[in-house]
Amino acid sequence: MKLAVVDYGSGNLRSAAKAFEHAANGAIDVIVTADADVVRKADRIVLPGQGAFGDCAAGLRAVPGMVEALEDAVLKRGAPFLGICVGMQLLAATGYEHGVHAGLGWLGGEVRRMTPADPALKLPQLGWNALDFAAHPLLAGWPAGAHVYFANSYHYAPADPATAIAHADYGGRIVAAVARANVAGTQFHPEKSQAIGLRLVSNFLAWRP
C-alpha cells in the first residue's frame, strides 16, 4: 500500500510524513511527491498545507497535472483523502484570505477570517484547544475533550454543516475537522498533537470509507 503526501511547496511536509511513517511502522510506503502520476495511483493521499489560502491554492495548481490527479484518485476512484490545516481549507469553494481565491470545491463553502468574540483572544489561534466531536472512524479511541494543536487565523465553513465532525471554541465555535465519504480534513495539526494526533493518523491508515 502506498500513501502519497502531496508536495506543492506549502511546507510542513516532513513532519506530516514522519507522523504517517511512525504510525505505519513499515506496513505502508509513505511517499512525499510532486509527481501527479504517483498521486493518481496512490492508495491514500494526504494534502498538508500552511501559509495563506491563495498561495497554497496557486501552488497546488502550479504543479503540472496535480489537481486532475487528485480528482481522479479521490473523487473518481475513491482513495481516502486527508487535508491538514490549509489542506483542509482547500476543500472549500472560496477562500477570502488576502483577496478572493478559488479552492478545490470538493465540500463547498468558504474560508473566512476568524472573529473571536473575546478581544483578548489573539490571532492566529496558536496552541492547544479542546474539541467537541462526533462519532466517526477517524476519531475512534479519542477521550472526551481531546486537546489538539492549532495554528490558524482563518476558519472553514463547509457548505453542509453536517460534514463537520469536530469543533473547537476560540471566542466562538469553529470547525476543527470535516468528513464526507472518502474525503476528510483537519484544521488542527495531527503531527503536532502528540498521542491524540497519532491516533487520528493511525485511524486514517486503517480507514475504509
Q: Which residues are catalytically annotated?
A: 85, 189, 191
Q: Compute how many other C-beta atoms are within 10 angstroms of the C-beta atom of residue 53.
A: 25
- CA atoms lying within 13 Å on the CB side of residue 132: 8
The β-bridge partners of 162 are none
Peptide bond into 124 cis (omega under 30): yes
